[in-house]
């Protein structure tokens, strides 16, 4: 899963260290990246260091990752059997090819003999088996293994301590591994692109179980050269990378904070997003920065406020629906956020596979909101309404976004509901949200792969570990399970449309925003900087020219 802190106030800085969006206009279209000749590749200059602002990753253990901040680093240092290319296709990584049985249950992966760990050792099938088995080992405490590897036969038993190994993993020979899944699922390969399925070196892990990931022996295009908490993270190119050596020598992430715009203007970093505070001046053609401004399309994402539907007062769907109807999303998006976001009408973002343009969502209707609240089991006497606390990532006392302030005020004015804000550090927040400790929480989701299953099944099936709202609807579960194995894509999408509408009627979330077009500043010497709607290992495509 690619959870991210929603932090709508961060539109003022739009840090790109842990998220991505469509490419700048100077880069090839991600849907039509041209094939490049060997001569053209050879002509691209090599060397140099790309510098960006970043944030401390929540973990550097790929099998424990569950958010964009960690994933953006892990996809560069590690790799799995398959990966995602700039065309958003599933393509070979450690596996050079694979075969799928006629019944769709058995995947046989043949490893690339050129694939090596950073220490030079060739990747073997046993390394793959060990890594996937380690992810399912309850001692690893992966928060997402059931989501991304739970389709593999035996993973659930291993995770529950009922088996010593994952039975669906079989090493056929040194370069071949067979994986058996529980049902034919068209999205299974895509799941293997997430860090949970990345390959780690057993000797590396067991040499220092508590801190091996600070000196990881990965297989990715970059090596972790240095990591100083709250200061810097430095990646160095893996010259022997089996899919082609990166052009850059190094990529540095500055973790100590600072003003992204000021650092960009002082030539301290190569890339920054442009937020509300600087947007108008940078869009001015007379501004020298204007020629470095790129427009980036929307990510496959949604921001939302989640209700724990088992906690009062959110155990009453009329309360949840009332809070969705009591504020004007379109007005906030336009007047407060300068149309840098799109009001969410549904769960799936515009342009995403399976997106339903006919979905209605929650139209602003304060009269109906008040009526619903009155009809709820708490409405007769609002004094009996339990106190409400919204927990969000952030430092204690930090300001909340202007959009959230407007929403909180609308709830107070239209419904008489006061909501208290509680803030907690991102890593701790993720741990607590995974344990469903919050009454109400602020979060965002970025797609891992282009399939509606990654939103609707992962976030709303009653048995999903990512269903942090404790939402449960038997009809939704039944439709989701039917969609998992439906081979006809049109029929699958129709099932997901039904699911989406049912979820909206139950209102386990306050829908907020999808990403809209964004503005990014990229130094002229930076080339090949793809801004895609998914996280992929993209640093290896970047090169620096002399200006």
Q: What is the pLDDT of residues 409-465, one digit of tens each?
A: 999 999 999 999 999 998 899 899 999 999 999 999 999 988 999 999 999 999 998
- Distance, in Å, from the CA atom of 196 to the CA atom of 71, rounded to the nearest integer, reads 10
Alpha-carbon span 182 to 151, nearest angstrom: 6
Same domain, 128 and 52: no
Is residue 155 within 8 A of residue 12, CB to CB? The reply is: no
Unique residue bearing structure tokens 């309850």: 138
Q: Which helix (H) or strand (E) covers residue 437, if one does?
A: none
Does one domain contain both 112 and 155? Answer: yes
For residue 459, the model assigns a pLDDT of 96
- What pLDDT score does 379 carry? 83
Contact 371, 525 (CB under 8 A): no
In which band, very low, low, confident or very high, does the pLDDT at 7 lie, cut at 50, 70 and 90?
very low
CA 327 from centre of chain: 27
Report how far residue 306's alpha carbon sits from residue 320's, in angstroms, rounded to the nearest whole number: 10
Q: How far apart are CA 55 and CA 69, in angstroms?
A: 7
How much is the pLDDT for 399? 75
The domain that holds 25 is classified in CATH as 3.40.190.10
Give the separation between CA 222 and CA 243, rounded to whole angstroms.
Answer: 12
Residue 385 has pLDDT above 80, yes or no: yes
CB atoms within 10 A of CB 387: 10
Domain extent at residue 285: 1-77+220-297+518-547
* pLDDT single digits (tens) 212-256: 999 999 999 999 999 999 999 999 999 999 999 999 999 999 999
Residue 211 counted as domain residue: no
* Cα dihedral 449/453/458/461 (nearest 10): 180
Total domain count, the chain: 3
Pairing of β 2-4 and β 440-446: antiparallel
Distance (Å, whole) CA 478 – CA 307: 22
As a whole number of angstroms, the distance between CA 83 and CA 547 comes to: 33
Check whether residue 234 and residue 362 sit in a common domain.
no
Q: Is the pLDDT of residue 196 over 50?
A: yes
pLDDT higher than threshold 80 for residue 396: no
End-to-end CA distance of the chain: 39
Is the pLDDT at 24 greater than 80, yes or no? no
Q: Is residue 209 part of a domain?
A: no
For 347-372, write each residue's pLDDT tens digit: 999 989 999 999 989 999 999 999 99
Task: Tell me, yes or no, whether 291 and 402 share the same domain.
Answer: no
Give the domain-ending residue among 204, 233, 255.
204
- Residue 112 CB partners (closer than 8 Å, separation 6+): 92, 93, 94, 95, 96, 123, 242
Note whether 325 and 354 are same-domain residues: yes
| Mean pLDDT, residues 2-7 | 51
Model confidence at 381, pLDDT cuts 50, 70, 90, reads: confident
Same domain, 506 and 377: yes
Give the model's confidence band at 338: pLDDT under 50 very low, under 70 low, under 90 confident, else very high.
Answer: confident
Tell whether 498 is covered by a domain: yes
Same domain, 103 and 193: yes
Do 39 and 55 lie in one domain? The reply is yes
Rounded to 5 degrees, what are φ and ψ at 169?
Answer: -110, 125
Residue 197 maps to which CATH number? 3.90.76.10
Residues 388 and 431 in one domain: yes
> Is 148 a domain residue?
yes
Distances (CA, A) of 69 to 1, 20, 218, 426: 11, 11, 18, 10
Does any domain span residue 97? yes
Flag whether pLDDT at 87 surpasses 70: yes
pLDDT of residue 95: 98
Domain harbouring 460, CATH code: 3.10.105.10
- Considering the domain architecture, whether residues 49 and 60 belong to the same structural domain is answered as yes
Asked, for residue 214, whether it belongs to a domain, the answer is no
φ, ψ for residue 335 (rounded to 5)?
A: -85, -35
Mark whether 482 and 541 lie in a shared domain. no
Whether residue 161 is found in the same domain as residue 176? yes
Residue 429 lies in a domain: yes
Q: What is the three-class DSSP state of 143?
A: coil
The predicted-structure confidence for 108-167, as pLDDT tens digits, reads as follows 999 999 999 999 999 999 999 999 999 999 999 999 999 999 999 999 999 999 999 999
467 in a structural domain: yes
pLDDT in tens, 270-324: 999 998 889 899 999 999 999 999 987 778 999 999 999 999 999 999 999 999 9
pLDDT of residue 12: 34
């Amino acid at each position: 899963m690619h959870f991210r802190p929603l932090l709508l106030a961060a539109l003022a800085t739009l840090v790109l260290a842990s998220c991505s969006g469509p490419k700048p206009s100077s880069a090839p279209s991600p849907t039509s990246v041209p094939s490049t000749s060997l001569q053209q590749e050879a002509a691209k200059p090599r060397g140099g260091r790309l510098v960006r602002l970043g944030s401390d990753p929540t973990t550097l253990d790929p099998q424990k990752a569950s958010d964009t901040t960690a994933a953006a680093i892990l996809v560069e240092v590690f790799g799995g059997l398959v990966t995602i290319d700039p065309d958003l296709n599933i393509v070979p990584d450690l596996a050079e090819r694979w075969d799928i049985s006629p019944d769709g249950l058995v995947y046989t992966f043949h490893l690339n003999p050129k694939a090596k760990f950073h220490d030079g050792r060739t990747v073997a099938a046993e390394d793959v088996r060990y890594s996937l088995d380690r992810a399912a080992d309850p001692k690893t405490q992966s928060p997402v293994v059931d989501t991304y590897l739970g389709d593999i036969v035996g993973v659930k038993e291993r995770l529950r301590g009922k088996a010593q190994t994952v039975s669906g993993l079989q090493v056929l020979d040194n370069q071949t591994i067979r994986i058996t899944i529980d049902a034919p699922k068209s999205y299974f390969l895509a799941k293997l692109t997430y860090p949970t399925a990345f390959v780690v070196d057993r000797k590396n892990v067991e040499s220092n179980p508590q801190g091996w990931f600070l000196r990881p022996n990965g297989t990715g295009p970059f090596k972790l050269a240095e990591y100083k908490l709250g200061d810097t993270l430095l990646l160095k190119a893996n010259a022997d990378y089996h899919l082609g050596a990166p052009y850059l020598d190094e990529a540095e992430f500055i973790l100590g904070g600072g003003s992204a715009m000021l650092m960009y203007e002082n030539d301290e970093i190569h890339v920054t997003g442009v937020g509300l505070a600087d947007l108008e001046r940078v869009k001015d053609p007379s501004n020298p920065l204007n020629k470095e401004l790129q427009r980036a399309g929307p990510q496959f994402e949604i921001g939302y406020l989640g209700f724990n539907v088992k906690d009062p007062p959110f155990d009453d769907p009329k309360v949840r629906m009332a809070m969705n109807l009591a504020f004007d999303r379109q007005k906030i998006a336009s007047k407060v956020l300068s149309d840098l976001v799109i009001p969410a009408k549904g769960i799936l973002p515009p342009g995403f596979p399976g997106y339903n343009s006919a979905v209605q969502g929650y139209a602003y209707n304060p009269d109906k909101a008040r009526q619903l609240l009155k009809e709820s089991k708490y409405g007769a006497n609002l004094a009996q309404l339990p106190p409400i606390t919204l927990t969000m990532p952030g430092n204690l006392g930090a300001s909340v976004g202007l959009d959230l302030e407007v929403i909180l005020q609308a709830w107070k004015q239209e419904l008489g509901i006061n909501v208290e804000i509680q803030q907690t550090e991102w890593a701790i927040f993720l741990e607590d949200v995974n344990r469903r400790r919050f009454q109400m929480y602020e979060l965002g989701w970025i797609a891992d792969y282009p399939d509606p299953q990654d939103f609707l099944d992962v976030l709303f099936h009653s048995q999903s570990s990512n269903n942090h709202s404790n939402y449960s609807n038997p009809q939704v579960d039944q439709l989701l399970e039917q969609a998992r194995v439906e081979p006809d894509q049109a029929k699958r999408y129709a099932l997901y449309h039904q699911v989406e509408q049912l979820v909206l009627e139950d209102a386990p979330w306050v829908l907020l925003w999808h990403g809209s077009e964004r503005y990014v500043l990229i130094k002229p010497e930076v080339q090949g900087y793809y801004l895609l709607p998914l996280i992929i290992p993209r640093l290896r495509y970047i090169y620096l020219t002399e200006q």
